[in-house]
Amino acid sequence: GEEHSVPDLTGTEHQRPPSAADDGAADILQQFLTTKEKFHNLVDSEWQSLKGEKAGENEKAKASNETLVEEPDAKKLKLDPEQTSKIGKPDGKRLRGQNKSRPHIKPTTYDEKRLCVSVTQDNRECHFGEKCHFLHDVAEYLSTKSADIGESCYLYDTFGRCAYGLTCRFAKAHTTPDFKTMENAERMKAHEGRTSVKNSLSKELQNRLRKNSVDFKKSAEYLKICLKNILTRLHCEQLQVTPDKHPSVKTVGPLTDEDIIKLRPCEKKQVDFRDKLYLAPLTTCGNLPFRRVCKRFGADITCGEMAMCTNLLQGQQSEWALLKRHESEDIFGVQVEGCFPDTMTRCAELINNNTDVDFVDINSGCPIDLVYKKGGGCGLMTRTRKFEEIIKGMNYVLDVPLTVKIRTGVQQKSSIAHKLIPEMKKWGVSMVTLHGRSREQRYTKLADWDYIATCSKLASPVPLFGNGDILSYEDAMKARETGVSGIMIARGALIKPWIFTEIKESRHWDISSSERFDILRDFTNFGLEHWGSDTRGVEKTRTFMLEWLSFMCRYIPVGLLERVPQKINERPPYYTGRDYLESLMASQNVGDWVRISEMLLGPVPKNFNFLPKHKANAYK
């Protein structure tokens, strides 16, 4: 009755235990298999030989630094429910890996002394005068500034000007000997009048939101009707008659209750969702630079990360950043989360009037406690009257289609999506995305594609997208056979963003380590453009890259597999790649992800601290 670990795949150098396939490990050609110790010795020794003695000293210093977390232990096999109930957990709770106590350091803390914006922006006069906390002496700032990362600045090379001036970590590329920032007029002219990123929050709108002076005219109309309906229902209950039997009141004028709640479909902007590849709205990892990478590989539909409607209504800059849209995103939506009809309707009207989006998505699938316990995310699936009011309200104020993302249900053995989908059709949803797992499952067990197929028939003619466990074009072909209108890809895109190309070209791409490194380089450049090329921006880019690498390291190159394709629930055993970079990218160790980031973004700061947000539950 005791829990037992996954057998070590590395008993001898090139032998796999007979039961490896049953243990959830991917089948890799024997000549590439190795042991944990040999794998790390190889990665460490080659890294030191590449970087020379200096790197060796840095590694020793890093080894003594306790802020980097060691590689996690091998996942344990999940036992039968009968066995598990005998054992019990020490605190009586199921392990869920939410990782709430992880350390967090703000990127601003990596700068010892920061230069005042007035100096970087053509030596303007500082509004704060002597009260300013930042440096105004350029020589003093440069004496404490971290060393430059590289010889050329991506922002200067692309746009002809770097807005970060002296604070840029590539400043030598565009700074004159007398500390002036250079400009390239020709490149600047090529980008003149072009806005590559839309949907930023203006100061004017932020102030209006904070002063509660934004007019939500349409939302107020809808909420009046909701209130009237509630009062009618209460009145009917008192009279002990159903609302249908209650005598209807004829209204004078062009507007009726039916007009308000049922918006004519012809008034909506139409989006053709069918047969598209949809990159899921991924919290933390689905940022704008990552979406740009996926667009290059053929993603058709992209969506911003989940945004909390209350934070958007309060004008929080960090939440509004999740709505930003790059010019390469031709079909783009935003995803909002909330649990009350009034706030969700106002939020939809705010988005409709102040952003450029092709659709708005309601998150009714988020499993995290923070969201679920207040009735949002998956919680909406069990609160159908609230859900109906939210959908109808948002639909009333939006000029673009309204979509919904749901799971099969809350409990593993009690699916409710099939009951909810026919109702959502009546409420006016333009598209439904179904993740084939319940809230209780999180990411354990395989997605139920038979159930997705059933729901797809119920949803017709409303398009239904299926989501879950797609990591190859073969998985995508099987998914399409279920009759879904399209496919949403989430973790598959994080593990290998070129999956969109594989699906469109019906092939398994044996991508080289240098090509994968080029993808990371593109992400780095997009990150510097999005978050900035100063220390703050560099460290923000690094953090998001490390979060992504915690998924990307699960990819096993096609040329190393004994059986193609790799399945999403298969754990990579320890293996050596065909070259050093391929081995380094296969490491599950945070320290090795940091090494990869250092190859692109220079050495980490002294007080650097990182623990991945994502602790995978997928291989249990």
Q: Which residues are catalytic?
A: 366
Q: How far is Cα of residue 55 from the mean position of the Cα atoms in its chain?
A: 33
Note whether 305 and 281 are within 8 A (CB): yes
Within 412-448, residue ranges assigned H as helices are 417-427
Residue type, 461: P
Of 187, 147, 188, 191, residue with least CA distance to 168: 147
List, as own/partner pairs, every contact residues 129-137 make where C-beta atoms lie below 8 angstroms and the sequence separation is at least 24, other chains included. Answer: none
Task: Please calculate the CA angle 480-485-490 and round it to the nearest 5 degrees.
Answer: 75
Strands 197-198 and 325-326: antiparallel
Render 44-67 in DSSP notation, one character per residue: HHHHHHHHHHHHHHHHHHHHH-TT
Question: How many other CB atoms are found less than 10 A from the CB of residue 322?
Answer: 23
Phi-psi region at 26: left, alpha or beta (left = phi > 0; alpha = psi -120 to 50): beta
Question: How many other CB atoms are found less than 10 A from the CB of residue 462?
Answer: 20
Q: Which SS3 state, helix, strand or coil, does residue 521 take?
A: helix
Q: Which SS3 state, helix, strand or coil, does residue 376 take?
A: coil
Please, which residues have CB within 8 angstroms of residue 605's CB and are 6 or more apart in sequence? 110, 146, 535, 539
Cis peptide leading into residue 463 (ω within 30°):
no
DSSP H or E segment with residue 257: helix 257-261
- Give the separation between CA 391 and CA 427, rounded to whole angstroms: 7
What percent of the chain is helix, strand and coil (3-state, nearest 5)? 45, 10, 45
DSSP state of 115: B
Q: Which SS3 state, helix, strand or coil, does residue 561 take?
A: strand
List, as own/partner pairs, every contact residues 138-145 make where C-beta atoms lie below 8 angstroms and the sequence separation is at least 24, other chains included. Answer: 138/166, 138/179, 140/113, 141/113, 141/114, 141/115, 141/166, 142/166, 142/179, 144/112, 144/113
Phi, psi of 335 (to 5 degrees): -110, 130
Q: CA–CA distance from 230 to each of 224, 233, 239, 247, 389 (Å)? A: 10, 5, 14, 16, 11
